[in-house]
Structure 1
Amino acid sequence: MPNIASILKAEISRVARKEVRTEIETLKRASVGHRSSIAELRRQMSALEKELRRVAKGAARSVAAADTESDETSTKRRFSASRLASHRSKLGLSAANYGQLIGVSGQTIYHWEQGKARPRAAQLESLATVRSLSAREAAQRLSAN
């Protein structure tokens, strides 16, 4: 008569292998399902990225077209430090007074004249309006402030 302990041990290991095999099959099926859904998500992400690049390229083109249209409608202002200094001396104004007309400090005017800094677009527009003033008109504007 065989040993009951060895038969019991063999039966337990057989049942355990059977249970593990069914659990592993379930996990394998779940893993295959997850892998296919991951692959599908990657395909969707790739398609969306391509679409985003296409839309961004189109938006960049439309912005560039809008910029060229706005540049054509508005005049491009140029700046020259030496011309600024000569105009200020022609009007007979100090840098502080000239700066008041433009809306900046006298120190900023000195920096512009020395070429250490450049005026922004809005300041270039102010410079253009002051550039059209005569010495008398500039004095009137300063006395009004």
Structure 2
Amino acid sequence: MTTFASSLKKEIARVARKELKDELGALRKASAGYRTEIAALKRQVRDLQVALRQTSRRADKVLKTVAPEAAAEAADAPRRGRRAVFSAERLKAQRERLGLTQKDMAAYLGTSTLSVWKWETGQVTPRARFLPAILSLRTTGKREVLEQLAKRAGGGAD
């Protein structure tokens, strides 16, 4: 009986390999086609990037000859700089440094206490309209924030 079972196993394995061979051949063919298509797309992207750089350089030259004042202003504007990135830990540290509660921070930023809590726990990132105020906290002192909070609290009562 064991020879029958082992020969049955071998036969099943042989049939399974035969079936898989056809399917794997089709998959390999498709995969090779996809790889060539991806390579062609990468070449196309590289060529487009080169063309974009060349066009940008030509535009800068034309801008300098046509409107030198505008070119000077464009040169003065920072093209690439460090981009400010929001950090939940940094926001919490700033709030604690300023001695504010989440409620005070929410009043200062013009949002809800729940939003401040979600920002600090990293569940949500603030919308773009809040980022300048949050980033300005890095350079704002405790007295200045408390004065602004007092003004807002006093202005709202009038």
**TM, length-normalised to structure 1:** 0.48
Provide TM-score, normalisation by structure 2.
0.44
